[in-house]
Structure 1
Amino acid sequence: MIGISDIEAAAERIAGHVVRTPTVESPGLSELLGVAVTTKLELLQRTGSFKARGATAKLLSLGAEELAAGVVAVSGGNHGIALAVMAAALDVKATVVMPRSAPARSVALVEAAGASLRLTDDMPSAFALVNRLRDEGLTLVHPFDDPVVIAGQGTVGLEFADDAGELTDVLVSIGGGGLIAGVAVALRARRPGIRVWGVETEGAEAMSAALTAGGPVPVVPSSIVTTLSAPAVSQLTYDHVSALVTEVLTVSDQDAVRGCLDLAEHGKVWTEPAAGCLLPAARQVLDRVGDGARLGLVVCGGNATAGEITDWSERFGLR
């Protein structure tokens, strides 16, 4: 497991390459939920999500031969965008493998950044292809099964701990678990009494399945939230979550999309469902801990188009 010193080192390494995103109290969300809410706005990060942190930390840790070989990543959207953009900024050749279910905008952004794009039928086959490309000599930048990447994502928690007022509970979305692993290490080190809650959507429950089984197990993703749809978590992220996270909560795709609409209306931020899922989960947290909570929300990304949100809202009968 990584420690706070790893995250502090990552923060020094990536400074100047990524944005120190705003940490702001949200009057609208506080009124909506009935408790104080503070948001960490990672959707304002370079490439529109926290993924730029881990990708940059990894790229800057690689040796000359590893960089010369070119880097490769598998992604449901945001990690691919981050690697493509940050690799281009550092003049490194990148290949990104994505399932065809990935958002069209994410695919377009990867191509626009100059990366070589490989599309597969689904996320499990995307992971299988990226492993083959690694074996053929490309340098893997894994989205979550890498302590350097986790430390990079953990800088979100480091900034949140430094910049927020009093917090009792922080909610973090889970795909493969890299973000919550790093954030939990940082928060629990800087603010030992804080509770960290994970959030998944139904059909993207790789961490919940792992916690039930006592270790990582394969799942078949079916959620519309492709950015959370890992086919399995890693032993590394499982170990962090099982040790440091209070509980992993699950919400429906419908509620995640409704959360996007509520975040837009009440929080004044445009998010993707991977962040929208935090609001319905926050209500579950309040049911467990009571009205005295002071919530922190890691608003992880905003790479969803108006058309996508409209289509999902119509699909679920939301206004």
Structure 2
Amino acid sequence: MVTLQELQWAKEKLSPHIIETPVVRMEILDALMGCRVYLKLENIQRTNSFKIRGALNKMLSMRPEELKNGVVAASSGNHGKGVAFVAELLGVKATIVVPESTPNIKVEGIQSYGAEIVKCPYEKRHEVAGKLSLDHGYALIHPYDDEAIIAGQGTIGLELIEQLPEVDQVVVPIGGGGLIGGIATAVKLTAPHVKVIGVEPACMPRYTKSLEAGERVLLEPAHSIADAILTLQPGAVNFPIVQKYVDHVVTVPEEEIPDGSTTLLTAGKISAEFSSAIVLAAALHGRLPVKPEDRVCFVISGGNIDPADIVRQMAGSDAVSDQT
């Protein structure tokens, strides 16, 4: 388990390099979400994603000799962009393995920091990254299954509790479990009365099924518009943290996921990835255990999306509505 001291050390280490992202009150969303809405805006973080936090904490903790041959990471995009940023900062080579379906905005973002891109089927990305590490001596920077990564992501939770000590619930997207594992640890070790809720796609319910089974369940590959959170199995380090500290995990059907991003853009004037705004989609469709008086902070984990993709989803919804 990650300790409070490790979280505090990570916060000190990261502070010169990242933005302490704001918590914003969004009254305009209250009636839609069924609670008092606050947003923790990691979509405006450097690299436009929370992932820079874990990558920084991990790579700043490594010895120079570990990094001398370069680094490699498997990523759906945001982790790769964070690793590429840190690699450029430290002057080391970075190779990022991404799914063939990775949006161009994420590929271009990774390349903007000088990293090399390797594409493969998304279920093979960890295997390919591992082979590159063995073949070339690259240091492998895992996207979530690592205590240093979890501690880096957990700095969001420390900031959030300092910024909004009266919060009742924190709602977090779930992929492999690095983000929710870090945030839940920080929240429960500093404000144990605050509830932590995770949200994942219904087509990829790896934590829902694993928590029900009491062990890590490996799922079959599936497609989702929430491309950043399609991990097939909970991380080995992450799963016991989620078991201990997360109060609920809910799922969102595929057809409801885009509603989080479209509502956030139209009503809140904020651009967020489908994988990030899934937390708002859950609230919009009544899938969260919230009450109107609850102060609920939704972690908006990333903003690496082409706004045209949101517009296309909105146009598609209108077309469906016109036909029904």
| Both proteins in one fold, TM over 0.5 | yes
Q: What is the rounded CA distance, in whole Å, between the counterparts of 1:135 and 1:222 in structure 2?
A: 29
1:125 aligned residue: 124
Correspondence 1:232 to 2:233: yes
For 2:300, the aligned partner's letter is V
Where 2:102 maps in the other structure, the secondary structure is coil
For residues 154-165 of structure 1, the aligned pairs below 5 Å read: 154-165=154-165
1:80 aligned residue: 80
- Structure 1 residue 34, shift from structure 2 partner: 4.1
Q: What is the rounded CA distance, in whole Å, between the counterparts of 2:13 and 2:127 in structure 1?
A: 31
Correspondence 1:61 to 2:58: no
For residues 95-134 of structure 1, the aligned pairs below 5 Å read: 95-121=95-121, 123-134=122-133
- Structure 1 residue 133, shift from structure 2 partner: 1.7
1:298 aligned residue: 299
Where 2:157 maps in the other structure, the secondary structure is helix
Is the 2:216–2:233 contact (alpha carbons within 8 Å) kept by the matching residues of 1?
yes
- Structure 1 residue 85, shift from structure 2 partner: 1.7
For 1:267-315, what per-residue CA distance to the aligned partner results, in whole angstroms no more than 9, with x for missing partners? 2211011122111323567763433311111110111102222333445
1:246 aligned residue: 247
CA, structure 1 residues 30+207, in 2 after alignment: closer, same or farther (shift >3 Å)? same
Structure 2 unaligned regions, length at least 5: none
TM-score, normalised by the number of residues in structure 2: 0.93
Q: What is the rounded CA distance, in whole Å, between the counterparts of 1:103 and 1:173 in structure 2?
A: 19
For 1:177-236, what per-residue CA distance to the aligned partner results, in whole angstroms no more than 9, with x for missing partners? 100000001111111101100000122322223223322222213212110011212121
Q: Which moved more, 1:4-13 or 1:286-295?
A: 286-295
Is the 1:215–1:235 contact (alpha carbons within 8 Å) kept by the matching residues of 2?
no
Q: Which moved more, 1:213-222 or 1:231-240?
A: 213-222
Q: What is the rounded CA distance, in whole Å, between the counterparts of 2:72 and 2:120 in structure 1?
A: 15
Is the 1:206–1:218 contact (alpha carbons within 8 Å) kept by the matching residues of 2?
yes
Q: Which moved more, 1:144-153 or 1:215-224?
A: 215-224
Q: What is the rounded CA distance, in whole Å, between the counterparts of 1:17 and 1:93 in structure 2?
A: 19
For 2:114, the aligned partner's letter is G
Is the 1:72–1:95 contact (alpha carbons within 8 Å) kept by the matching residues of 2?
yes
Q: What is the rounded CA distance, in whole Å, between the counterparts of 2:134 and 2:216 in structure 1?
A: 23
CA RMSD of aligned residues (A): 1.7
For 1:276, the aligned partner's letter is A
Give the percent of matched residue pairs that are identical in Structure 1 and Structure 2: 35
Q: What is the rounded CA distance, in whole Å, between the counterparts of 1:270 and 1:49 in structure 2?
A: 12
Q: What is the rounded CA distance, in whole Å, between the counterparts of 1:309 and 1:285 in structure 2?
A: 22
Is the 1:184–1:245 contact (alpha carbons within 8 Å) kept by the matching residues of 2?
yes
CA, structure 1 residues 52+23, in 2 after alignment: closer, same or farther (shift >3 Å)? same
Q: What is the rounded CA distance, in whole Å, between the counterparts of 1:192 and 1:283 in structure 2?
A: 26
Q: Which moved more, 1:162-171 or 1:52-61?
A: 162-171
TM-score, normalised by the number of residues in structure 1: 0.94
For residues 1-319 of structure 1, the aligned pairs below 5 Å read: 1-121=1-121, 123-136=122-135, 137-219=137-219, 220-283=221-284, 288-317=289-318
Structure 1 unaligned regions, length at least 5: none
Q: What is the rounded CA distance, in whole Å, between the counterparts of 2:133 and 2:288 in structure 1?
A: 45
Q: What is the rounded CA distance, in whole Å, between the counterparts of 1:16 and 1:65 in structure 2?
A: 23
Is the 1:175–1:204 contact (alpha carbons within 8 Å) kept by the matching residues of 2?
no
Is the 2:23–2:38 contact (alpha carbons within 8 Å) kept by the matching residues of 1?
yes
Where 2:270 maps in the other structure, the secondary structure is coil
- Structure 1 residue 50, shift from structure 2 partner: 0.3
Is the 1:153–1:183 contact (alpha carbons within 8 Å) kept by the matching residues of 2?
yes
- Structure 1 residue 255, shift from structure 2 partner: 1.6
For 2:129, the aligned partner's letter is V
CA, structure 1 residues 224+91, in 2 after alignment: closer, same or farther (shift >3 Å)? same
